[in-house]
Amino acid sequence: MGISAGFMVPHPPLIIPDVGRGEEKKIQKTIDAYKKAAEAVGRLQPETIVLLSPHQTMYADYFHISPGKGARGDFGQFRAGQASMEVSYDTEFVRALCEAAIDSDLQAGTLGEREKKLDHGTMVPLYFVNQYWTEYRLVRVGLSGLPLVAHYRLGQCIQTVSQTLGRNTVVIASGDLSHKLKEDGPYGYQEEGPIYDARIMDVMGRGDFGKLFQFSEDFCEKAAECGHRSFTIMAGAFDRTGVEAEQLSYEGPFGVGYGVCTYRSCGDDNTRNFLEQYEEKERKESLARREREDAYVRLARYTVEKFVKTGTLPEMPEGLPEELYKSRAGAFVSLKEDGRLRGCIGTIRAVRGTLAEEIMHNAVSACSEDTRFSPVEDWEVDRLTISVDVLGETEKISSPEELDVTRYGVIVTEGGRRGLLLPNLEGVDTVEQQIAIAKQKAGIREHESVELERFEVIRHY
């Protein structure tokens, strides 16, 4: 046995009659599709359901898998506490999945549970499934802030475990689409919202899972989706497997996109090795990118590679441009992975004897000391895109009108608190955003007044 089917489903609480109180009729297409999908689960009679939920415990660098023998939950937070359910966990599957993740160098396990109760991302799908089949055990998996490739690899682990244990397994990827489809919706409108929904429904409707890697972090964030990582884990569970895909419905009358698709396993298909294809493409692009990198970036990359492997700052290489040995300046080293920030540390003014030392020390800090992220691991190094910003002199300004997000970085100061944001960053389109983010980094409240400074940078790629 193994993965017999997968289902992409949304999780609006109001689709539950006790919560919706009639409002659910406005998404009747979604209800009808949900019932059709749940009927399919009933016909398959799975022993195990692996449910991927964005509203389960989530960490930036760790996949949480629910521990214990089982859990219960209700819709009390949506004023419908009478609507409840209880599930039993497949403890053998959970244990094997944790071991498979460790073997694959993935940070995943049962530690760090914050809330034992079932979340609505889990309960909404099971509300429909339970109408047609209840003799299953559940594996409840949360998402993470790790790159999409890590989510796909976790899906591969799910596939391996289901095959090893001989479990008839169904994977349910719970996730809404964009939350920004309408001005009068609960989250407003963003032009990326409907674009995301059209793209994701095309990809998922055809089962073209390799295209999931082509959605940038910035684009997904602007679209305010919540299911993309769920869908990617499910895609990994069908690695090298043919699927019969069917799109059952799509609608978004409340300003949030709801899509339902089903996937029936059709046996081995080695052409659907989407992660391998993506990584081969990335390797070629990485080699081409390295050939284009200038001496500043090559120095930062050399430092990161050596430090990640040895845990120590390497010796300064010979043959660098003269200015790196003789000049002094503040510098920031920024790391990105799959288009997503992976670390960024720097100095406003020179604190080392040479610019080369400044870059090397900040490269080490960016890959190991940025508290927003776990330290960079060896397998990630080749995936990194690195840039180095060398800062010019700062100058005080009297008003935000003297800023330009593409030309100037900003420093905000209030008392002993100070925050900096570099110029020309993806996703930072206005001066107001730039100042707000710099304040946030400094722990300064939005309404507090600040002193402003600006600076220019020379950015090296």
**Same domain for 341 and 220:** no
Can you give the pLDDT at residue 391? Answer: 97
**Same domain for 383 and 416:** no
As beta bridge partners, residue 264 has 5, 244
Q: Mean pLDDT by 10-residue block, N- to C-terminus, for the chain (461 residues)?
A: 95 97 96 98 98 95 96 96 97 98 95 95 98 98 94 98 98 98 94 98 98 93 96 98 98 97 97 96 88 96 97 96 96 90 94 97 97 89 93 94 95 94 91 95 92 96 92
The DSSP code for 181 is B
Helix or strand (DSSP H, E) at 161: helix 148-165
Can you give the pLDDT at residue 246? Answer: 98
Domain boundary among 276, 306, 339: 276
**Same domain for 408 and 348:** no
Domain annotation covers residue 326: yes
Can you give the pLDDT at residue 118? Answer: 98
What range does the domain containing 360 cover?
293-387
**Same domain for 420 and 381:** no
**Same domain for 403 and 371:** no
CATH number at residue 458: 3.30.1490.150
**Same domain for 140 and 246:** yes
**Same domain for 297 and 259:** no
Nearest to 71 by CA among 11, 16, 126, 8: 126
Q: DSSP characters for 113-154?
A: ----SPPHHHHHHHHHHTTT----EEEEEE-BSS-HHHHHHH
Domain annotation covers residue 288: no
**Same domain for 397 and 382:** no
As beta bridge partners, residue 51 has 140, 172
Domain annotation covers residue 282: no
Domain annotation covers residue 285: no
**Same domain for 124 and 21:** yes
Domain boundary among 387, 422, 439: 387
Can you give the pLDDT at residue 285? Answer: 87
Listed in sequence order, the residues at least 6 apart from 153 whose beta carbon sits closer than 8 Å to its beta carbon are 104, 106, 236, 275
Residues 144 and 150: beta-carbon distance below 8 Å? yes
Number of separate domains in the chain: 3
Can you give the pLDDT at residue 259? Answer: 98
Can you give the pLDDT at residue 357? Answer: 98
Domain annotation covers residue 445: yes
Domain annotation covers residue 304: yes
Domain annotation covers residue 172: yes
Residue 153, both tokens = 């690899």
Q: Where are the beta strands (DSSP E) in 192-293?
A: 241-251, 258-268
What pTM was computed for the model?
Answer: 0.83
**Same domain for 375 and 245:** no
Can you give the pLDDT at residue 426? Answer: 83
**Same domain for 396 and 374:** no
CATH number at residue 231: 3.40.830.10
Can you give the pLDDT at residue 133? Answer: 98
Distances (CA, A) of 195 to 179, 192, 449: 12, 5, 37
**Same domain for 156 and 89:** yes
CATH number at residue 307: 3.30.700.20
Domain boundary among 322, 357, 387: 387
Domain annotation covers residue 283: no
The HSE-up count of residue 366 (CA atoms within 13 Å, CB side) is: 32
